[in-house]
Structure 1
């Protein structure tokens, strides 16, 4: 989840008046590269949440989980190295160009 443009908790003394890092699944790449922010971590940089593991009590009893790789894309576009301003600045050898993955629920063989 990252609907920072409409999330009351993402508001800050910034231009634009919000920051993507003040959300559950922060993505610094979404912050305006020309924005003004009260502190460096609030601004535009190559950082953010990259995965999630989801589990419930019922899932734990079955030794199951749901894993989601990549930055959140529910309300935001996927991260694409070749379209980002970080493409030539940050080494990303071995990474896929587009970070848009579906949730994965592994099946375990228990003995």
Structure 2
């Protein structure tokens, strides 16, 4: 199961619409809808908000109720590894840059 499938699965388990997920997570409905429309992955801060809305941890997000790991692509792993090497200030700058870039699409 990939990241977007996992979000959809958790949302449907709760019988939530995308709008309800946006209300509970503090993200806009257009942002959530765009992830699925364009097959774009959420940022880590956005994923943290999604997990908070579902009342689960990031670790729980990446392992479903059957213990099956959510699959990340090699590119996604590489991005996470590189992100973790940055200082907190650099991480925040990168997040801001990516949010600005994706919001302008």
**Common fold: TM-score over 0.5:** no
Structure having the higher Rg: 1
**Whose relative contact order is higher, 1 or 2, with alpha carbons under 8 Å and at least 6 apart?**
2
Structure number with higher helix proportion: 2
TM-score normalized with structure 2 length? 0.30
